[in-house]
Structure 1
Amino acid sequence: MATFPIEGGCGCRFIRYCMETKPLFVHCCHCRWCQRETGTSFALNAMIEADRVTLLSGEVQIVDTASESGKGQKIARCPKCHIAVWSNYVGAGPIIRFVRVGTLDHPDLLPPDIHIFIASKQPWVVIPSGAPAVPEYYDREKYWPAESLERHKTILPKIEAYQAELRHGLT
């Protein structure tokens, strides 16, 4: 069981950050897009409110990157070693970060809460028991813990306002 805050950073240690609290949920995504983007068999991301991630040192370089949805994402990378430390998808904008669990100093503290898009996983990847595994995306109400659902309710108005700004070309 992880105790917070926990720290992480890039490979060259120029970027250092702190996750102040437990994330909302941890995804292990096996979709082909994540495989392509990471060059691995899956991506392991901790979803957390952006204001709960503190940049301790360095300055990230934001790289606009394509996403399978076609809406894109903004990946925060170290400007020196180019390691991706988190991303923000257009749907939630700057409000939710998807922290790359592998960049934590102790990534074993945040195992996946769910395996998603396992219909496209590499056939030799064995999904361990313990966390649910679903063929595509999932129903948040069914899988997220009550605490995370409550936190999400508090930030939902911010996400909806951001999405409205996007629709009206204000962002």
Structure 2
Amino acid sequence: MEVNGVERYSGSCGCGQLTYRLSSGPMIVHCCHCKECQKQTGSAYVLNAIIEADRVTWDGDATEHNLSTPSGKGQVITRCADCGTAVFCSYLVRLGKLKYIRVGTLDDPDVCWPDVQIFTSSKQRWVPLNPDIPSFEEFYNFQDVWPEAAYTRLNAVFGK
């Protein structure tokens, strides 16, 4: 689907060599303030659009980097082989069945506003929280937060 000449859910790395497309919109968008995301992105937080891994296709050379996570299971970050931009990751605690798309790499990042703010207990003090977006000091219960249609998609991924 195109909006103003831009594929609604497509994106690329910083140099444009690695491109990707989502076959649907994400299930949910996290604004994560955890220290791990701050360290890995060099920013105060990261916006991740969560989608089923089989709904993401990409072209171009990529590298994968394994990094630790607080769960101990780790994650795999996919980066452009040329410029090193991180375009998405997969948390192994989720068995690699989901992709966490870095919203800033979308051609039109405005299509993915955050649905929830997480790990706000470790946010930078100067970052204000939007009172219109649910926020949690740590994580949350999926069933309590995810819209019903998204929660159904999530359960389908894990055969529930």
Contact residue 23 and residue 46 of structure 1 kept, 8 A: yes
Runs (4+) off by over 4 Å: 2-5
Task: Map 1:81-160 to 2 at 5 A.
Answer: 81-157=83-159
2:36 paired residue number: 33
Give the equivalent residue in structure 2 for 1:79.
Answer: 81
Q: What TM-score comes out, normalization by structure 1 length?
A: 0.86
Partner of 1:15: 18
Amino acid at match of 1:19: L
Q: Mark the runs of 5 or more structure 2 residues left unpaired by the alignment.
A: none
Gaps of 5+ in 1: 159-171
The one-letter amino acid of 1:116's match is I
Q: Deviations over 1:30-56 (max 9, x none)?
A: 01111111111001101100111121x
How far did 1:17 drift? 0.4
TM-score (norm 2): 0.91
Structure with greater proportional helix content: 1
Aligned-residue identity in percent: 40
SS at match of 1:37: helix
Tell me how far apart the structure 2 counterparts of residues 139 and 71 of structure 1 sit (CA, whole Å): 19
1:43 is aligned to 2:50: no
RMSD after superposition: 1.7
**Structure with greater strand percent:** 2
Other structure's SS at 2:96 match:
helix
Matched residues in 2 for 1:115 and 1:94: separation? 22
- How big is the shift at 1:16? 0.5
Q: 1:68 aligns with which of 64, 67, 70?
A: 70
In 1, are the aligned partners of 2:71 and 2:93 still within 8 Å (CA)? no
Residues 58-85 of structure 1 show CA distances to partners (whole Å, capped at 9, x for unaligned) of 0321111122222211100000000000
Counterpart of 2:42 in structure 1: which amino acid?
G
Measure how far apart 1:5 and its partner are: 4.7
